[in-house]
């Protein structure tokens, strides 16, 4: 009998110095606007708003192998959109994903991995997945947390 692997990623809510403004899933470029699940973070847990599939932030941070969550604030959304425009709409998914504030995944063995990558539009985007014993998702009001299923860690 196969063992079901599931990891709950803890969440730390930060108060934003100032509200960055609302944006919607449709405002995210490319495949980012089509996650398998999404939640908008409120000031308090009861103010979180389910955008797709899950009902709460807890539901989206309960990860199984092959799932990746990414945190986008208004600024990150704008940067990804600007990059998509510079690429004439042909940016790779991982290039758009690289603008996320945090990217956390669970590999096939149930190991927590964080993705460190960045290019700021200045060159090639090279993802580096690092195994971590523990990690905390840090969120602010109005952030959108996206979950993508069936992901691999070799891109």
- Distance between CA 112 and CA 49 in Å, rounded? 26
Answer yes or no: is pLDDT of 122 > 90: no
Question: So what's the pLDDT on residue 19?
Answer: 59
Q: If you average pLDDT over residues 108-128, what whole number do you get? A: 80
Q: Which residue has the higher pLDDT, 18 or 70?
A: 70
Exposure b/e, 60-89, CB count within 10 A at least 16 = b? bbbbebebbbbbbbbebbbbbbebbeeeee
Question: So what's the pLDDT on residue 17?
Answer: 62
Torsion sign, CA atoms 64, 95, 118, 99? negative
Question: So what's the pLDDT on residue 128?
Answer: 86
Q: If you average pLDDT over residues 148-154, what whole number do you get? A: 88
Question: So what's the pLDDT on residue 65?
Answer: 95
């Amino acid at each position: 009998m196969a063992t079901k692997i599931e990891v709950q990623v803890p969440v730390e809510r930060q108060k934003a110095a100032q509200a960055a403004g609302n944006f919607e899933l449709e405002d995210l470029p490319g495949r980012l606007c089509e996650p398998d699940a999404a939640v908008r973070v409120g000031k308090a847990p009861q103010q979180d708003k389910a955008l797709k599939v899950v009902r709460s932030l807890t539901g989206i941070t309960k990860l199984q192998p092959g799932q990746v969550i990414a945190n986008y604030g208004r600024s990150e959304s704008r940067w990804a959109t600007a990059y998509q425009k510079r690429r004439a709409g042909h940016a790779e998914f991982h290039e758009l994903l690289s603008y996320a504030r945090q990217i956390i995944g669970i590999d096939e063995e149930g190991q927590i991995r964080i993705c460190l990558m960045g290019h700021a539009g200045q060159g090639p985007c090279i993802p580096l997945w690092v195994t971590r014993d523990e990690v905390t998702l840090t969120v602010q009001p109005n952030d959108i947390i996206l979950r993508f299923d069936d992901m691999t860690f070799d891109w």
